[in-house]
Structure 1
């Protein structure tokens, strides 16, 4: 960019950046998230008289990092999680890298910025098999929406798919003969095929034959439709699942993602290997899937009680049978 050209504003640079992300096929959801986080950063800059890219210094980035650390969530009043802070800072670093590539900056002031260390958290609690059955049986099946809801819950439980993936399912994505569902443009824009069991397929077919036409109107595209014939809004689908959890007397936190955790954990407890779970859930990295290995506590307890000498049932003070002391008595 020549010196005679007017330096673009931060808002104009952000608009150009998003055009490039779309050209390179970034997902709309990722762009929406970055639009929010980078919009927050631009507002912070403008409040401090930072109007152009050249005025974003390393010191400004560090000041914004401190701002995020002390900032409160407007809805909950709680501090921003380190995951949220890292997401905001990562978006800024990528945007500034793009500015360097486009010659709007000579160097990236956030290049050497270290992101917050993220806590390694266990997944949310999962449902037992009996709780899943109670959840499924909480659905009233005498209405078209009831048949739809049972099919939705069965699909979540059978596949462990994400909420957005279920919302995006099309009629053409169901292969009855092969008993699979095609998930198109899952997280990261990747397609994958997931199996569904016979029971799940039967409930989906029952919904399609006896319920969907009464709900869909002219919609001949979306698999699971609302009473207005549209695709679900994410919040509405979460609320729907949560209502059935409450109706079943289940107090564990979560809704759609709780069923995703349940599918993965129960399969691991029954012998599935972690790479199979990785494929089913659509995790890009095996590290993301391996966290589920930490929640199969019942399986760990069973093996521990079966194999660890100190876990065997015996009177207090009595030595284990395989110790030298026990062999000498």
Structure 2
């Protein structure tokens, strides 16, 4: 069911929830889209069950909504996220006095599957960077840009949205640090190494000037038409490079973030330092990378020790 087919009061609730997420909660554009997609799914299901007002939502409807998706084969991690969205939505509706009773207060979802993120080996990173170096040496501005993007993503572990939002002034080339505005508008400073510094400097000297226009503004990375780069363009660049490797199951730009965190820990970095670099609000989120490192260590041990 399309949102336009929802009763007017439900559409108004969705719009108000969006303003709350964008304003008071300062959620990213990507997060807002995900939240609203989940809420639309819930309300469309509820309407099919005869609900026309938000106050008519009941726990049974929420459970049947999740159950229908589970039967359709939806992953437990997605179900858990949708249940969390439903709870956030009804809690907000209670505060706004749109409903008198919170129907999701006892809503439970299946526990998330424990999965380790895709991580590239260091030699795979080297192969990727070598291909980018070759392309930048012989290619145009976009090849120079792509090398700078990948070097910076891997060097800093920042998110794609954070990279797309970077301005030139966010760079401190002398200290080799980056000012990043993360989730919840929390600012952090992230260091980067010499290879990333060289690649970004090359982009600023001979790549960016070739595509900059009057509408480019202070954006660090630009698209082919001179606008600030879109996160989707970054994802496309990285996806193509990962596919070209041919020997990895890692997908998407987050693979570079996962790899940066894992390689830092493999190299002896402190867990709290990695937490700060990645911009995680909870240390528990960062700890998954210790599992990745231990898993890699175990595999190395089994391959190398004669009595493994």
Q: TM-score, normalised by structure 1?
A: 0.82
SS state at 2:106 partner: coil
**3-state secondary structure, aligned to 2:287:** helix
1:51 counterpart SS class: coil
- What is residue 137 of structure 1 aligned with on the other side? 130
- 8 A Cα contact 2:59 2:106, kept in partner: no
Which of 255, 262, 275 lines up with 2:259 in the alignment? 262
What does residue range 34-183 of structure 1 map to in structure 2 within 5 Å? 34-71=35-72, 79-124=73-118, 126-139=119-132, 140-141=135-136, 142=138, 143-183=140-180
Q: Deviations over 1:84-132 (max 9, x none)?
A: 21222222222222222233322111112123211111111x2222221
Is the CA contact 2:28–2:183 (under 8 Å) kept in the aligned structure 1? no
On the 8 A contact 2:242/2:251 being kept in 1, the answer is no
SS in 1 for 2:290: helix
1:247–1:91 CA distance, 2 compared to 1 (3 A): closer
Q: Give the number of equivalent residue pairs.
A: 295
Contact 1:69 1:85 in 2 (8 A): yes
User: Partner of 1:229 in structure 2?
Assistant: 226
Partner of 1:74 in structure 2? none
Aligned to 1:26: 26
Q: Contact conserved, 2:275 with 2:283, CA < 8 A, in 1? A: yes
Q: Gaps spanning 5+ residues in structure 1: where?
A: 1-6, 72-78, 315-329
Aligned to 1:9: 9
* Structure with bigger gyration radius: 1
Tell me the C-alpha RMSD between the 2 structures. 2.4
Could you tell me which residue of structure 2 aligns to residue 281 of structure 1? 278
Check whether the contact 1:11–1:42 (CA below 8 A) recurs between aligned residues.
no
Q: Alpha carbons of 1:17 and 1:259: their partners in 2 closer, same or farther (altered >3 Å)?
A: closer
Q: Per-residue CA shift, 1:144-184, capped at 9, x if unaligned?
A: 21111111111011111111111111111111121101111
2:190 to 194, 197, 218: 194
**Structure 1 residues 130 and 104 mapped into 2: Cα distance closer, same or farther (>3 Å)?**
closer
| 8 Å CA contact retained: 2:148, 2:200 | yes
Q: Which runs of 5+ in 2 are unaligned?
A: 1-6
The one of 290, 294, 302 equivalent to 2:291 is 294
Task: Work out whether residues 170 and 180 of structure 2, in 8 Å CA contact, stay in contact via their aligned partners in 1.
Answer: yes
